[in-house]
Amino acid sequence: MDVTDSVPPDQIAALQHRLAEFAAARDWEQFHTPKNLAAALTVEAGELLEIFQWLTPELSLTVMEDAESAERVEDEIADVLAYLLQLCTVLGVDPLAALAAKIDRNEERFPVR
Amino acid sequence: MDVTDSVPPDQIAALQHRLAEFAAARDWEQFHTPKNLAAALTVEAGELLEIFQWLTPELSLTVMEDAESAERVEDEIADVLAYLLQLCTVLGVDPLAALAAKIDRNEERFPVR
Amino acid sequence: MDVTDSVPPDQIAALQHRLAEFAAARDWEQFHTPKNLAAALTVEAGELLEIFQWLTPELSLTVMEDAESAERVEDEIADVLAYLLQLCTVLGVDPLAALAAKIDRNEERFPVR
Amino acid sequence: MDVTDSVPPDQIAALQHRLAEFAAARDWEQFHTPKNLAAALTVEAGELLEIFQWLTPELSLTVMEDAESAERVEDEIADVLAYLLQLCTVLGVDPLAALAAKIDRNEERFPVR
């Protein structure tokens, strides 16, 4: 089965669908409790931070200039997003709606002076 | 100015646009180095994990049943996504393309038996 | 019972003893699986990092000059150490021996030029 | 120079001394701002959590039974403690006093019923 044949038009939903198919095909759903996914998300965020941990602020702006470093950054960003989306799937949370609502609240909370 | 008037059709790009406007209006761009955003992402992932840290796997499945707990979960998911998208903006990374490429690689790396 | 009456001479063992008494008296041992303690340790490390996340390297050197900020730093350091020691108790790991052995290995791995 | 010849009697202070000598000999002190050390601490806590992330609570209790897994646990515990102690050195915080004070406060905050 080609998953791309049947994906919904929404890009995020399509990725969540692919991630769910991927886990189901490997019988990994049993590991994907919200708790485990939140732990894995934190672990991957740490791996992303590791790339930057000894860099000056200025050097941290140049990580995409080196091909190997750029690939590592994209890889860790993908991992963070993967676990975030899988967590949203398991919990029934719409991540884009949650973020839009949060920005609305922050616009109230931090008024522009 | 109503940001929603001018947002691109792509939902992710629209949120990145709103986040950039929000930071610019408060002069917070100076703090948004890739290093700081990666640190903030990790901190927020930790706050999300905190909700689950003492729960059994089974109880972790029920966090959305309680309104207060559900709100906290959505709030932390929004924070994680916000910093992830801001990091992608600063670095010029397309998060959905990065994730799609990663799933492609994982399908090679972990063949279904 | 005054725990300080019976603490071993070793300072670390004494703190591990106090932490164990504290958890036992509140029936919290059931939550202190290695997995949960490792999660809590990561969450607290994130709370410590939060203090520094938007600071320049230079400003991060001054956090102890402000009384409130200093108190927060000491509080989070205490939390990290508490969960690290409780994890070591549960797993039977001697943290000081583990660190001494690691420094030995690193001296081999990173020879001084 | 054999560092063990000159270490103070206090075990923690002795390890802090070794870590400081180690960093100084490699000219790594420049990287050891409080901010960077707090980031590195969080990264290492994440690596420790990674060992447990997919385990059931029960399986997490058995990680020391396998030699390879036990070694990995001890290695990550050592890394967490190393960065915690280096952070304490740079900030002038006494980690054991901070923890003792925190336990005192928690005994007030969470009275035994």
Q: What is the mean pLDDT of each run of 10 residues along chain C (113 residues)?
A: 50 96 97 98 98 98 98 98 98 98 97 90
Q: Report yes or no: D56 and B56 within 8 Å, Cβ to Cβ.
A: no
Chain C 48-87, CB below 8 Å of chain A: which residues?
56-57
Separation between Cα atoms, residue B51 and residue B58, nearest integer Å: 14
Query: A69 to chain D, minimum CA–CA distance in Å?
Result: 17
pLDDT in tens, A8-57: 469 999 999 999 999 999 999 999 999 999 999 999 999 999 999 999 99
Task: Kindly report the average pLDDT of chain D as a whole number.
Answer: 93
Do C56 and A56 make contact, defined as CB atoms within 8 angstroms?
Answer: no
Residue B2 has pLDDT above 60, yes or no: no
Q: What is the DSSP string of B27-83?
A: T-GGG--HHHHHHHHHHHHHHHHHHHTTS-HHHHTTTTTSHHHHHHHHHHHHHHHHH
A20 lies in some domain: no
| C50 Cβ contact partners less than 8 Å away, ≥ 6 residues apart | B43
Query: A57 to chain C, minimum CA–CA distance in Å?
Result: 8
- Judged by average pLDDT, the poorest of A66-75, B7-16, D89-98 is B7-16
Nearest chain D residue (CA) to C44: D42
The mean per-residue pLDDT over the stretch D30-47 comes to 98
pLDDT in tens, C10-29: 999 999 999 999 999 999 99
Q: What CATH number is attached to the domain comprising B72?
A: 1.10.287.1080
What pLDDT does residue B1 have? 42
- Which residue of A49, A83, A86 to mutate against B (max B Cβ within 10 Å)? A49
Do C63 and D110 make contact, defined as CB atoms within 8 angstroms?
Answer: no
Chain B residues in contact with D43 by the CB 8 A cut-off are 42
Q: Report yes or no: A60 and B34 within 8 Å, Cβ to Cβ.
A: yes
Chain B residues in contact with C42 by the CB 8 A cut-off are 46, 49
Amino acid identity at C11:
Q
Separation between Cα atoms, residue A18 and residue A107, nearest integer Å: 34
What pLDDT does residue B9 have? 60
Do B11 and A11 make contact, defined as CB atoms within 8 angstroms?
Answer: yes
What ipTM was predicted for this assembly? 0.92
What pLDDT does residue A113 have? 81
A47 lies in some domain: yes
pLDDT band at D9 (very low <50, low <70, confident <90, very high): low
pLDDT in tens, B64-94: 999 999 999 999 999 999 999 999 999 999 9
Q: What pTM did the predictor assign?
A: 0.93
Query: D39 to chain B, minimum CA–CA distance in Å?
Result: 7
What pLDDT does residue C9 have? 60
Nearest chain C residue (CA) to B44: C46
Chain C residues in contact with B31 by the CB 8 A cut-off are 54
Q: Report yes or no: B98 and A44 within 8 Å, Cβ to Cβ.
A: no
B26 lies in some domain: no
Separation between Cα atoms, residue A47 and residue A44, nearest integer Å: 5
Residue keyed to tokens 């000598």: D21
Q: Report yes or no: C16 and C85 within 8 Å, Cβ to Cβ.
A: yes
A16 lies in some domain: no
Separation between Cα atoms, residue B41 and residue A42, nearest integer Å: 9
Q: Domain tally for chain A?
A: 1
C111 lies in some domain: no
Task: Kindly report the average pLDDT of chain C as a whole number.
Answer: 93
pLDDT band at B113 (very low <50, low <70, confident <90, very high): confident
Give the residue numbers spanning the domain of A82.
33-52+63-93
D70 lies in some domain: yes
A104 lies in some domain: no
What pLDDT does residue D88 have? 98
A46 lies in some domain: yes
Query: Which other chains touch chain A, taking contact as 3+ CB pairs less than 8 Å apart?
Result: B, C, D
Task: Kindly report the average pLDDT of chain A as a whole number.
Answer: 93
